[in-house]
Amino acid sequence: MVITPALVIFNIAIFVLLFLFVRTIDKRKWLSILVGLVLTPVVYFYLFFPLLNVFSSYHHQKYYNADAWKEKPALRYEMTKNIITSDTLIGLTKSEIQQQLGNYEWLSWNEEKKDHDPDYWNYGLGILPGAFNTKKECITLIFEDNKVARIKTYNEDIKFDDEN
């Protein structure tokens, strides 16, 4: 476990709150300190930390890896930031992208052509962890002259199979 300033501050705050609560029950300081010291890690790891993870949208960031992209499509969102900031895919041809990411999952609709646009490849990135997340992450690779020119991310509503 890594001890960070946030961990120390949260534990101090929890200890103070527990100490003050126990003082309302019993006025003995040694008992309040003992109960506070024993309950602080319990409250932090079994109450505060799980609630923090459920209601925050924090997730791990990973470097882009072509094998992980193909093997675990539900966790692709972890690599997105690295793909965009490092320009890993910019300048690659369609065949190189197909080798790296696999075949596109769907093509974007072009209103002018009234057809799917073969220069807009879309991939699903998975669903970010969180309690109230109703959107899935997606990425669009935009090709110009058969090479990736831009990468755009967007959110899409989650639709389940049994919904109309």
pTM, two decimal places: 0.68
For 59-112, the pLDDT digits (tens) are 778 899 999 999 998 889 899 899 999 988 999 999 999 999 999 999 998 888
pLDDT at 163 over 70: no
Domains in the chain (CATH in brackets) are 5-55 (no CATH), 66-157 (3.30.1450.10)
CB 148 within 8 A of CB 101: no
- pLDDT, tens digit, for every residue of 105-151? 999 988 888 899 999 999 999 888 777 778 889 999 999 999 999 99
CA triple 94-115-135, angle to 5 deg = 75
13-56 residue pLDDT tens: 888 888 888 888 888 888 878 887 788 888 888 887 788 777 77
Give φ, ψ of 85 to 5 degrees: -70, -30
Residue 55, number of CB atoms within 10 A of its CB: 10
